[in-house]
Structure 1
């Protein structure tokens, strides 16, 4: 079946198989948080992005092959409600942006900085630090050598705008960060996977950057 990226709380996950990486998206919790399970097609190593909620469902998704690490995109509680239980059950390494790691009440064994990489077996995710939604928010880029880039944006970028901010200065910072580190660097066909709701591409959102800046959110 064709991947659509449309998942709903309590519903079935959606799976996208790339040449070297499999991406499974599932919605968990009352806030429709997206959790992503990435699997290297060659080694079967698995990495989760945002163990947000409903750890029993997440552990069922992980299955018997185990979990190497969990990356938490930022400090907000709706993105780590299932983290402690998933880590306890799997022994997974915990990864988060260095500026948010102290605010996550599960020990972060590997704080990461802009430009660091996170392995998924033979595949590699690049850490992109995006300030504004929180001080230590990160996105994760899989620059598929066999296809288009794939980008996991947490709550920093959604279809229709950047993530929530709490001041005009934070909004400007986040929009500037998203513009320079994502839109100015990556091609239109880059598919992005947000922390809530449906996916999109940078090309679909690029024409609206000036509109977002003018409206101020």
Structure 2
């Protein structure tokens, strides 16, 4: 059975800098009928476990440390008996939610294998210092968390974020991927690299 990408949408809240907002998050499950990797198991551990449906979970990968993405990670890990990995530059965000450390770190260039395909970690800071995207060339896919969305970069108006940094990450690490690469985002609908690349200068001019 060849590897595929499954999407689960969960709902909850995101809190930072004294504010709280309602959000819907994408949880991405990559694998086949036997084994999977779960990316960003947000909000609802039971719903994630139901979607996994008994398959072996090799790893839980976190694109970044904002609480909407990590708050349910520990409970999900217990339900699925799987280790959690996070880039160390986002430990301050993780530590604001959890007392127990992640099970391992993510470094730029790390490769995670599942169901015969590889996901390569690409450090894409800006939305947060430890934001990471996962590139899966065999699936024509990149999982960008909150770094790149349909219509532009993720938010950079809050603590630990920086607009010039996120634009540089997108320009040098993501828009260099093939145009047909599907961008699987942390919120909202997927897009394609070829649909976003022509708008880079517009984003810079908007400075949003």
Q: Would the TM-score normalized by the shorter structure come out above 0.5?
A: yes
Contact 2:3/2:116 (8 A) holds in 1: no
Match runs of 1:33-52 below 5 Å: 33-40=25-32, 44-52=34-42
Matched, 1:122 2:112: no
Match runs of 1:57-206 below 5 Å: 57-101=47-91, 103-104=93-94, 105=98, 106-144=100-138, 149-166=140-157, 170-183=162-175, 185-206=176-197
Contact 2:45/2:79 (8 A) holds in 1: no
CA shift for structure 1 position 102:
5.1
CA shift for structure 1 position 166:
2.6
Alignment coverage as a number of residue pairs: 192
Task: Give 4+ residue runs of structure 1 displaced > 3 Å after superposition.
Answer: none
Counterpart of 2:4 (choices 22, 32, 36) is 22
CA shift for structure 1 position 97:
1.3
Can you list the C-alpha shifts for 1:98-155, whole angstroms capped at 9, x where unaligned?
A: 21145322531220111111121422100010111100000000011xxx62000000
Which consecutive residues of structure 2, in runs of 5 or more, have no partner in the other structure?
Answer: 13-22
Instruction: Tell me how far apart the structure 2 counterparts of residues 125 and 160 of structure 1 sit (CA, whole Å).
Output: 24
Contact 1:94/1:107 (8 A) holds in 2: no
Instruction: Tell me how far apart the structure 2 counterparts of residues 194 and 212 of structure 1 sit (CA, whole Å).
Output: 17
